[in-house]
Structure 1
Amino acid sequence: MNLSIKNVPDELAALLRERAARNHRSLQGELMAIVEAAARERPGTMTIAELRQEVRRLGVSTPSESAAIIREDRDGR
């Protein structure tokens, strides 16, 4: 089967070529990898690495006393 995407902006095409080069793939190979990953993706699921990246992006942090709170709760059982 052949697929085609028309009217790709030059800037986007350049970014895709750069990405392909970084991954040591042809543009066709890189596009296939992207499409395959998107098709196999299960909506609503994240890998640990993706979750970590999202937490960092959002700037989420836990207070330093959280370990003490958890320990206190466990000791109280």
Structure 2
Amino acid sequence: MANLIVRNIDDRIANALKVRASQHGISAEAEHRRILEQVLLRPQKRSFLEVLSQIPEVGRDEDFARVQDEAAPDVFD
């Protein structure tokens, strides 16, 4: 395993790290590792546009046309 030394960290960041670590019941060093793992190694969420662009083009627009059911009462009348 590699060692990582981070210098010149603002005191507010160091204090926030310590507070967050204490809330999770772990050391500041363990919290630091946890944050780095979450940000760098976990899959990133895709944007809505990315998801839409990956939907395959199937069928024609007419295939998805809304058909009014004659037997169902019209709620808006």
TM-score (structure 1 length as normaliser): 0.55
Q: Percent identity?
A: 25
Q: What is the CA RMSD across the aligned residues, in angstroms?
A: 2.4
- How far does the alpha carbon of each residue in 1:25-58 deviate from its partner, in whole angstroms, 9 at most, with x for none? 1001100111111122333438xxxxxxxxxxxx
How many residues get paired? Answer: 51
- The one-letter code matched in structure 1 to 2:68 is G
Shift of 1:75: 6.7
Alignment CA distance shift 1:24-1:45 (3 Å): farther
Give the helix-richer structure, 1 or 2: 1
Shift of 1:21: 0.3
Structure 1 gaps of 5+ residues are 47-72
TM-score (structure 2 length as normaliser): 0.55
Shift of 1:74: 6.4
The CA distance in 2 between the partners of 1:32 and 1:44, in whole Å, is 21
Matched, 1:3 2:26: no
Provide runs of 4+ in structure 1 moved above 6 Å.
Answer: none
The CA distance in 1 between the partners of 2:8 and 2:15, in whole Å, is 13
Q: What corresponds to 1:42 in structure 2?
A: 43
Alignment CA distance shift 1:23-1:45 (3 Å): farther
The CA distance in 1 between the partners of 2:67 and 2:23, in whole Å, is 51
Q: What corresponds to 2:24 in structure 1?
A: 23
Structure showing greater Rg? 2
Q: What corresponds to 2:75 in structure 1?
A: none
